[in-house]
A and B are shown apart, each in its own frame.
Chain A
Amino acid sequence: MNRRLDRAAKGGSARGRRRRVRLLQLAHARSGDKGDTANIGVIARKPEYYPLLVREVTAARVARHFKGLITGPVERFELPNLHALNFLLHGALDGGGTVSLKTDAQGKVLSTALLRMEVEVPR
């Protein structure tokens, strides 16, 4: 699996056939909170995967992924030095911190919720 992904990331042409994989295969992540805003840091499992993340995991796609689960906008920041993207999900925590009634009041597992997303990679 990984070898195929590596090949795809290196040599895959934009015109070639594509397939869908879970973001979990390309990245790991950690999430946390600041008030009612959650942040999700998404990190490429290999530096070669980073351009795929930049291309596929846009703020708009993340907003669509979490549609109905968050009330505010999504912002994206790039950290090419760490091969990572940082997302801010506003209005993600039902008021946040102590006010929230959610099990995940601090957004600790929104990280893996994002890694469920399917992205297109070259075959």
Chain B
Amino acid sequence: MSDGAVRVAAGQGFWGDWLEAPYRQVTGGPVDYLMMDYLAEVTMSIMQKQKSRDPALGYATDFVPLMERLLPILVERRIKVTANAGGVNPRGCARAVAEVARRLGLAGRLRIGVVTGDDLLERLDALLGRGHELRNLDTGRPLAEVRDRVLAANAYLGATPVVEALAGGADLVITGRVTDTGLTLAPLIHAFGWRPDDWDRLAAGTVAGHIIECGAQASGGNCLADWETIPDLAHVGYPIVEARPDGTFDIVKHPGTGGRISVAGVTEQLVYEMGDPTAYITPDCIADFTTIRLAQVGRDRVRVSGVRGGPPTDRLKVSVAYFYGYKAVGTLVYAWPDALKKAKLADRILRRRLADLGLEFEAIRTEFVGAGATHGPLAALGPLADDLPEVELRIAVRSRERGPVERFTREIAPLILNGPPSVTGFAGGRPKPEEIVAYWPALIDRREVRPSVEFVDV
């Protein structure tokens, strides 16, 4: 843009986010970069499973048809893309996108940057053998205890390799496990030439990334402050970072879109998934969230300034996914009168039958949806408890073995005819046992992780 500002638009906040959002971001007004975050904590294990079935897969498959729709616009408007859609197979993802680009007649007009080096699965035994214990950050247990059940292991890479790809002329940067914030910070480093030790600016770019990494959660979606007055969420405008070389930036959205950019809403997103606010640690820097200043400088425009930061630690976070066991959830709906009492009786009957069958579970959990499932005893129902129009009995079990969970799924339906009355809501059929892939966060010496960048010319 003529004023020297660079606009980075959020297109996806997670794998499964609104498919219209990225299209609306690149057509609704001027943007320079489209940033798309696909990876949640356990997404990598799902992708690893897909790759083991078909070595060409292992990435966010939605990304390919999305690029098919967007590429002609991106090329025409010279909008660049940063996306961690590559999952555990960034090269495979890049190949699939390149194929689509050729079909669209874009041969010779597109360069794809591929960032790898985050995947530690093949190197895991060597790392453990050299004394890297990869202890669980929450429990302190060494990874060796679950080594034989590990499904994926990825280090979090920062902005640096993405900057390298952009500097090498990439129009599209496809990565594996790059941090959500790095996907926004990298374009700013590239565009403004920020030095690698300019901690305050790197921290500012990181805060910008944190604000837009969950998409519409910064522009009126899932916003508690004044939620009833937030306009036109049906056409919610996803957030855009409008950044300046000095590290200050505005959060905005395209004109004519729904939602709202307010100090209250941006603050809600700032505190989302936060730990110690003075030390928001990324591979790029440590940002101090207690230095952030926010100001409403226009309608749907919040200015962010004052951000201070410092150098990162010498370790990188590793996310390991391992097979844990099985779970299943069964539900039945009980209607007035005495809906809650009926649901409670059904729960007692079901638990008695599970015990009679000698089934052992690691955990059985009952919730009464509509009568305190989410807030528990904090939601005092009072006399209302006896007069609820309906209550959903939701009972869930977990076991290391499949057998007991499988048997549990057959004990729900019988209650319709041989349990308490006024019961319905079983149209979905028998619940299915679900494999549990658990998350194991750890740290590793950053010298063990070597990011690598390569290019695919279409």
Contacts and interface: CB of A to CB of B under 8 A. Distances in A.
B42 A97 contact: yes
Contacts of A81: 290-293, 306
Contact of B275 (A88, A104, A116): A88
A32 B272 contact: yes
Contacts, number: 123
Contacts of B273: 32-34, 39
A41 B438 contact: no
Contacts of A94: 363, 365
Nearest to B394: A103
Contact of A82 (B224, B267, B324): B267
Contact of A101 (B271, B275, B329, B439): B329
A98 interface: yes
A82 B277 CA distance: 11
B276 A77 contact: yes
A77 B378 contact: no
Interface string B147-188: 000000000000000000000000000000000000000000
B278 to A, nearest CB: 8
B303 interface: no
B365 A116 contact: no
Interface string A82-102: 111010100000101111011
A80 B290 contact: yes
B436 interface: yes
A35 interface: yes
A28 B268 contact: yes
Interface in B205-222: 222
B264 A43 contact: yes
Interface stretch (B247-255, B368-376, B447-455): B368-376
B324 A35 contact: no
B274 A41 contact: yes
A79 to B, nearest CB: 5
Nearest to A91: B138
A91 B322 CA distance: 20
B56 to A, nearest CB: 26
B271 A79 contact: yes
Contacts of B363: 94, 101
Contacts of B458: none
A99 to B, nearest CB: 5
B138 A98 contact: no
A69 B398 CA distance: 19
A60 interface: no
Interface in B286-333: 289-294, 306, 324, 327, 329
A104 B396 CA distance: 13
Interface stretch (A1-9, A13-21, A51-59, A105-113): A105-113
A97 B294 CA distance: 32
Interface string B110-127: 000000000000000000
Contacts of A11: none
A45 interface: yes
B439 A30 contact: no
Contacts of B373: 103-104
B382 interface: no
Contacts of B277: 77, 79, 86
A88 B270 CA distance: 15
A82 B327 CA distance: 40
- Closest CB pairs A-B (n = 7): A41-B271, A101-B396, A32-B273, A101-B365, A30-B268, A28-B225, A28-B224
26 contacts: A29-B224, A30-B272, A32-B272, A37-B138, A39-B273, A39-B274, A39-B275, A41-B271, A43-B267, A43-B271, A69-B376, A79-B289, A79-B290, A81-B292, A84-B267, A84-B271, A86-B275, A96-B439, A97-B438, A98-B437, A99-B438, A101-B396, A103-B367, A103-B369, A103-B394, A116-B375
Interface of A: 28-37, 39, 41, 43, 45, 65-66, 68-69, 77-84, 86, 88, 94, 96-99, 101-104, 109, 111-113, 116
Given A97-B438, A104-B373, A116-B375, 11 more contacts: A33-B273, A36-B138, A41-B271, A66-B378, A82-B289, A82-B292, A96-B439, A99-B398, A99-B438, A104-B374, A109-B374
